[in-house]
Amino acid sequence: MISTSNVTLRVGKKALFEDVNIKFTEGNCYGLIGANGAGKSTFLKILAGEIEPNKGEVIIEPHKRLSVLKQDHFAYDENKVVETVIMGNKRLYEIMQEKERLYAKEDFNDEDGILLGELADMDGWNAEADAETMLNGLGITSEFHDMYMKDLDGNQKVKVLLAQALFGDPDILLLDEPTNHLDLKSINWLENFLLNFKNTVIVVSHDRHFLNKVCTHIADIDYSRIQLYVG
């Protein structure tokens, strides 16, 4: 599903990663662990394409959608809450923006029909309801759904951004400290979500109970290498 080939990253004279070859496969949840400063968050950013390694490459199967838990809590301040969640699936959001314009057209053509067919294939007609269900599960109740992100507090924003990452059944899900600022009920909801998630998850967390609950594998960063363990 997603793998690395000879990934090397140096920070100054220090090799954070050296010729890392690892494969993350479908249907598994990988907990990325290591000492403070080992490079857990950095490795997630390499997988997400946010950091370019000095050598090697990240390989993602064609037509697979990767989703990342965003860390910038102010990036969506001018967007409404439900809209922010749906933006987790960029292509779906783009088509939904076009939907009203298409319906207003008098000369509806084949290309327009293909676009709406793509919307149906992605279950776009249920997108708002699906986003609202996720938000409710994470404790963001209906009175907040039409509010702007800038009107939420920090903990609420964290939950919305988590819903955004989970939205739309991504093929590969990268989560950096997803339980931070979550209450116990929301953590339980997230655990159940990940236990039922059929695709690939790679998660960094200091919450041992959470990792024990959701992970099928552990990826241990040690001395610039990454070792995979089952369980």
pLDDT tens, position by position, 135-154? 999 999 999 999 999 999 99
**If DSSP codes are grouped into helix, strand and coil, which group holds residue 176?**
strand
Residue 106 pLDDT: 67
Where b means 16+ CB within 10 Å and e means fewer, 92-119 reads bbebbeeeeebeeeeeeeeeeeeebeeb
Report the pLDDT averaged over residues 4-33.
94
Inform me whether the pLDDT recorded for 82 exceeds 70. Answer: yes
Residue 116 pLDDT: 77
- Mean per-residue pLDDT over the chain, rounded: 92
**Of 81, 119, 79, 75, whose CA–CA distance to 100 is shortest?**
119
**Distance (Å, whole) CA 100 – CA 78:** 21
pLDDT digits (tens, 9 = 90+) for 19-71: 999 999 999 999 999 998 899 999 999 999 999 999 999 999 999 999 999 99
Residue 52 pLDDT: 95
- Look up tokens 């293909």; give the residue: 114
Report the pLDDT averaged over residues 111-125.
80
Inform me whether the pLDDT recorded for 158 exceeds 80. Answer: yes
pLDDT digits (tens, 9 = 90+) for 169-203: 999 999 999 999 899 999 999 999 999 999 999 99
